[in-house]
Structure 1
Protein backbone atom coordinates (compact mmCIF):
# COMPACT_ATOMS: atom_id res chain seq x y z
CA UNK A 1 0.00 0.00 0.00
CA UNK A 2 2.84 2.41 0.84
CA UNK A 3 4.40 1.81 -2.56
CA UNK A 4 1.16 2.85 -4.26
CA UNK A 5 1.02 6.04 -2.23
CA UNK A 6 4.64 6.77 -3.11
CA UNK A 7 3.99 6.15 -6.83
CA UNK A 8 0.89 8.33 -6.69
CA UNK A 9 2.84 11.13 -5.00
CA UNK A 10 5.67 10.92 -7.55
CA UNK A 11 3.19 10.93 -10.43
CA UNK A 12 1.44 13.98 -8.98
CA UNK A 13 4.77 15.81 -8.60
CA UNK A 14 5.78 15.02 -12.19
CA UNK A 15 2.41 16.21 -13.45
CA UNK A 16 2.69 19.50 -11.56
CA UNK A 17 6.23 20.08 -12.81
CA UNK A 18 5.25 19.20 -16.38
CA UNK A 19 2.33 21.64 -16.34
CA UNK A 20 4.49 24.75 -16.78
CA UNK A 21 6.27 25.73 -19.98
CA UNK A 22 10.04 25.74 -20.03
CA UNK A 23 11.78 28.84 -18.74
CA UNK A 24 14.79 28.11 -20.92
CA UNK A 25 14.03 31.01 -23.25
CA UNK A 26 12.72 33.51 -20.71
CA UNK A 27 15.87 35.63 -21.01
CA UNK A 28 15.67 36.05 -24.79
CA UNK A 29 15.82 39.78 -25.58
CA UNK A 30 12.36 40.17 -27.09
CA UNK A 31 12.74 43.93 -27.44
CA UNK A 32 15.80 43.40 -29.65
CA UNK A 33 13.85 40.94 -31.79
CA UNK A 34 10.88 43.28 -32.14
CA UNK A 35 13.15 46.17 -33.16
CA UNK A 36 15.02 44.13 -35.77
CA UNK A 37 12.75 43.70 -38.79
CA UNK A 38 14.85 40.96 -40.37
CA UNK A 39 14.91 38.80 -37.23
CA UNK A 40 11.22 39.40 -36.51
CA UNK A 41 10.32 38.50 -40.09
CA UNK A 42 12.29 35.26 -39.74
CA UNK A 43 10.33 34.37 -36.58
CA UNK A 44 7.05 35.16 -38.32
CA UNK A 45 8.04 33.02 -41.30
CA UNK A 46 8.89 30.20 -38.89
CA UNK A 47 5.50 30.47 -37.21
CA UNK A 48 3.77 30.44 -40.59
CA UNK A 49 5.78 27.45 -41.87
CA UNK A 50 7.33 29.66 -44.53
CA UNK A 51 10.92 29.48 -43.35
CA UNK A 52 13.37 27.77 -41.01
CA UNK A 53 13.03 28.06 -37.24
CA UNK A 54 15.51 28.73 -34.48
CA UNK A 55 15.30 26.59 -31.35
CA UNK A 56 13.21 29.34 -29.73
CA UNK A 57 10.92 29.47 -32.74
CA UNK A 58 10.39 25.70 -32.71
CA UNK A 59 9.56 25.78 -29.00
CA UNK A 60 7.11 28.64 -29.51
CA UNK A 61 5.44 26.84 -32.41
CA UNK A 62 5.12 23.75 -30.27
CA UNK A 63 3.49 25.45 -27.27
CA UNK A 64 1.48 28.21 -28.96
CA UNK A 65 -1.67 26.19 -29.68
CA UNK A 66 -1.81 24.96 -26.08
CA UNK A 67 -1.02 28.41 -24.68
CA UNK A 68 -3.83 29.93 -26.72
CA UNK A 69 -6.37 27.31 -25.77
CA UNK A 70 -5.56 27.47 -22.05
CA UNK A 71 -5.22 31.26 -21.74
CA UNK A 72 -1.51 30.77 -21.12
CA UNK A 73 -2.28 28.97 -17.87
CA UNK A 74 1.10 27.21 -17.99
CA UNK A 75 2.98 30.47 -18.55
CA UNK A 76 4.87 32.19 -15.78
CA UNK A 77 4.35 35.93 -15.24
CA UNK A 78 7.35 36.90 -17.37
CA UNK A 79 6.08 34.76 -20.25
CA UNK A 80 2.64 36.36 -19.99
CA UNK A 81 4.13 39.89 -20.05
CA UNK A 82 6.31 38.97 -23.01
CA UNK A 83 3.37 37.46 -24.89
CA UNK A 84 1.31 40.62 -24.32
CA UNK A 85 4.21 42.79 -25.49
CA UNK A 86 4.62 40.76 -28.69
CA UNK A 87 0.90 40.70 -29.42
CA UNK A 88 0.56 44.45 -28.89
CA UNK A 89 3.59 45.11 -31.07
CA UNK A 90 2.34 42.92 -33.90
CA UNK A 91 -1.18 44.34 -33.72
CA UNK A 92 0.03 47.94 -33.91
CA UNK A 93 3.28 47.80 -35.91
CA UNK A 94 2.81 44.74 -38.15
CA UNK A 95 -0.96 44.34 -38.59
CA UNK A 96 -0.67 42.33 -41.81
CA UNK A 97 1.57 39.80 -40.10
CA UNK A 98 -0.75 39.81 -37.08
CA UNK A 99 -3.69 38.96 -39.36
CA UNK A 100 -1.77 36.15 -41.05
CA UNK A 101 -0.71 34.67 -37.70
CA UNK A 102 -4.26 35.04 -36.39
CA UNK A 103 -5.62 33.26 -39.45
CA UNK A 104 -3.29 30.34 -38.85
CA UNK A 105 -3.49 30.03 -35.07
CA UNK A 106 -6.96 31.43 -34.42
CA UNK A 107 -9.02 30.88 -37.55
CA UNK A 108 -12.30 31.04 -35.60
CA UNK A 109 -11.34 34.31 -33.87
CA UNK A 110 -12.04 32.80 -30.44
CA UNK A 111 -8.70 33.75 -28.89
CA UNK A 112 -8.66 37.18 -30.50
CA UNK A 113 -12.01 37.98 -28.85
CA UNK A 114 -10.74 36.73 -25.51
CA UNK A 115 -7.61 38.86 -25.85
CA UNK A 116 -9.64 41.95 -26.77
CA UNK A 117 -11.80 41.42 -23.69
CA UNK A 118 -8.70 41.37 -21.51
CA UNK A 119 -7.33 44.55 -23.11
CA UNK A 120 -10.67 46.37 -23.27
CA UNK A 121 -13.06 44.76 -20.76
CA UNK A 122 -15.74 47.43 -21.32
CA UNK A 123 -15.92 46.83 -25.07
CA UNK A 124 -18.64 44.56 -26.35
CA UNK A 125 -17.33 42.08 -28.89
Structure 2
Protein backbone atom coordinates (compact mmCIF):
# COMPACT_ATOMS: atom_id res chain seq x y z
CA UNK A 1 0.00 0.00 0.00
CA UNK A 2 1.40 3.25 -0.92
CA UNK A 3 0.32 6.48 0.61
CA UNK A 4 0.83 9.60 -1.22
CA UNK A 5 0.77 12.91 0.49
CA UNK A 6 -0.13 15.89 -1.54
CA UNK A 7 1.30 19.26 -0.83
CA UNK A 8 -1.23 21.75 0.45
CA UNK A 9 -2.44 24.04 -2.28
CA UNK A 10 -1.57 27.68 -2.00
CA UNK A 11 -4.41 30.13 -1.98
CA UNK A 12 -4.53 32.03 -5.18
CA UNK A 13 -5.13 35.71 -4.66
CA UNK A 14 -7.25 37.25 -7.34
CA UNK A 15 -6.59 40.86 -8.01
CA UNK A 16 -9.36 42.77 -9.63
CA UNK A 17 -8.61 45.64 -11.87
CA UNK A 18 -10.51 48.84 -11.25
CA UNK A 19 -13.43 48.91 -13.56
CA UNK A 20 -14.62 51.92 -15.44
CA UNK A 21 -17.76 51.95 -13.31
CA UNK A 22 -15.72 52.35 -10.11
CA UNK A 23 -13.73 55.22 -11.61
CA UNK A 24 -16.87 56.98 -12.85
CA UNK A 25 -18.58 56.64 -9.48
CA UNK A 26 -15.49 58.02 -7.71
CA UNK A 27 -15.46 61.00 -10.07
CA UNK A 28 -19.17 61.57 -9.51
CA UNK A 29 -18.62 61.50 -5.75
CA UNK A 30 -15.89 64.12 -6.06
CA UNK A 31 -18.14 66.32 -8.17
CA UNK A 32 -20.99 65.96 -5.68
CA UNK A 33 -18.69 66.88 -2.78
CA UNK A 34 -17.47 69.96 -4.63
CA UNK A 35 -21.04 71.02 -5.42
CA UNK A 36 -22.06 70.54 -1.78
CA UNK A 37 -19.16 72.68 -0.56
CA UNK A 38 -20.03 75.37 -3.12
CA UNK A 39 -23.63 75.40 -1.89
CA UNK A 40 -22.42 75.99 1.67
CA UNK A 41 -20.66 79.20 0.66
CA UNK A 42 -23.29 80.42 -1.77
CA UNK A 43 -24.55 83.84 -0.66
CA UNK A 44 -28.15 84.06 0.40
CA UNK A 45 -30.48 86.04 -1.82
CA UNK A 46 -31.18 89.53 -0.58
CA UNK A 47 -34.46 90.00 1.19
CA UNK A 48 -34.85 93.73 0.82
CA UNK A 49 -33.46 96.90 -0.69
CA UNK A 50 -31.86 97.68 2.66
CA UNK A 51 -29.77 94.51 2.40
CA UNK A 52 -28.48 95.54 -1.03
CA UNK A 53 -27.70 99.05 0.21
CA UNK A 54 -25.86 97.58 3.19
CA UNK A 55 -23.80 95.34 0.88
CA UNK A 56 -23.01 98.36 -1.31
CA UNK A 57 -21.75 100.26 1.75
CA UNK A 58 -19.56 97.29 2.66
CA UNK A 59 -18.17 97.25 -0.86
CA UNK A 60 -17.44 100.99 -0.68
CA UNK A 61 -15.47 100.40 2.54
CA UNK A 62 -13.49 97.59 0.88
CA UNK A 63 -12.78 99.77 -2.16
CA UNK A 64 -11.62 102.64 0.07
CA UNK A 65 -9.30 100.29 1.98
CA UNK A 66 -7.82 99.01 -1.29
CA UNK A 67 -7.25 102.56 -2.60
CA UNK A 68 -5.55 103.64 0.64
CA UNK A 69 -3.25 100.62 0.60
CA UNK A 70 -2.41 101.25 -3.06
CA UNK A 71 -1.59 104.90 -2.24
CA UNK A 72 0.68 103.88 0.66
CA UNK A 73 2.41 101.33 -1.56
CA UNK A 74 3.12 104.04 -4.16
CA UNK A 75 4.41 106.41 -1.45
CA UNK A 76 6.75 103.73 -0.12
CA UNK A 77 8.05 102.96 -3.62
CA UNK A 78 8.69 106.68 -4.16
CA UNK A 79 10.54 106.90 -0.83
CA UNK A 80 12.64 103.86 -1.69
CA UNK A 81 13.45 105.20 -5.17
CA UNK A 82 14.41 108.63 -3.83
CA UNK A 83 16.58 107.27 -1.04
CA UNK A 84 20.11 108.51 -1.74
CA UNK A 85 21.57 106.41 1.13
CA UNK A 86 23.20 109.45 2.73
CA UNK A 87 20.49 111.70 4.09
CA UNK A 88 17.55 109.32 4.55
CA UNK A 89 15.82 109.28 7.91
CA UNK A 90 12.89 107.33 9.35
CA UNK A 91 11.13 108.58 12.46
CA UNK A 92 8.85 106.44 14.61
CA UNK A 93 6.53 108.51 16.79
CA UNK A 94 3.91 107.26 19.24
CA UNK A 95 0.80 108.92 20.67
CA UNK A 96 2.67 110.18 23.75
CA UNK A 97 5.12 112.07 21.55
CA UNK A 98 8.11 109.78 22.02
CA UNK A 99 10.30 109.60 18.90
CA UNK A 100 12.78 107.08 17.59
CA UNK A 101 15.05 108.18 14.71
CA UNK A 102 16.86 105.88 12.30
CA UNK A 103 19.52 107.20 9.92
CA UNK A 104 21.50 104.05 9.10
CA UNK A 105 20.99 103.34 5.39
CA UNK A 106 21.21 99.55 5.85
CA UNK A 107 18.54 99.55 8.55
CA UNK A 108 16.35 101.89 6.48
CA UNK A 109 16.71 99.58 3.47
CA UNK A 110 15.66 96.54 5.53
CA UNK A 111 12.71 98.39 7.05
CA UNK A 112 11.43 99.60 3.70
CA UNK A 113 11.77 96.14 2.15
CA UNK A 114 9.86 94.58 5.06
CA UNK A 115 7.18 97.26 4.78
CA UNK A 116 6.90 96.66 1.01
CA UNK A 117 6.46 92.91 1.54
CA UNK A 118 3.76 93.45 4.17
CA UNK A 119 1.98 96.04 2.02
CA UNK A 120 2.08 93.65 -0.93
CA UNK A 121 0.35 90.96 1.14
CA UNK A 122 -2.29 93.37 2.42
CA UNK A 123 -2.82 94.80 -1.06
CA UNK A 124 -3.33 91.33 -2.56
CA UNK A 125 -5.84 90.43 0.17
CA UNK A 126 -7.76 93.67 -0.35
CA UNK A 127 -7.76 93.21 -4.13
CA UNK A 128 -9.10 89.65 -3.80
CA UNK A 129 -11.84 90.85 -1.46
CA UNK A 130 -12.87 93.55 -3.93
CA UNK A 131 -12.82 91.15 -6.88
CA UNK A 132 -14.83 88.42 -5.14
CA UNK A 133 -17.35 90.67 -3.38
CA UNK A 134 -20.96 90.26 -4.51
CA UNK A 135 -23.36 93.14 -4.08
TM over 0.5: no
Bigger proportion of residues as strand: 2
Q: Which has the higher contact order (CA 8 A, sep 6+)?
A: 2
**What is the TM-score with the length of structure 1 in the denominator?**
0.31
Richer in helix (by share) = 1
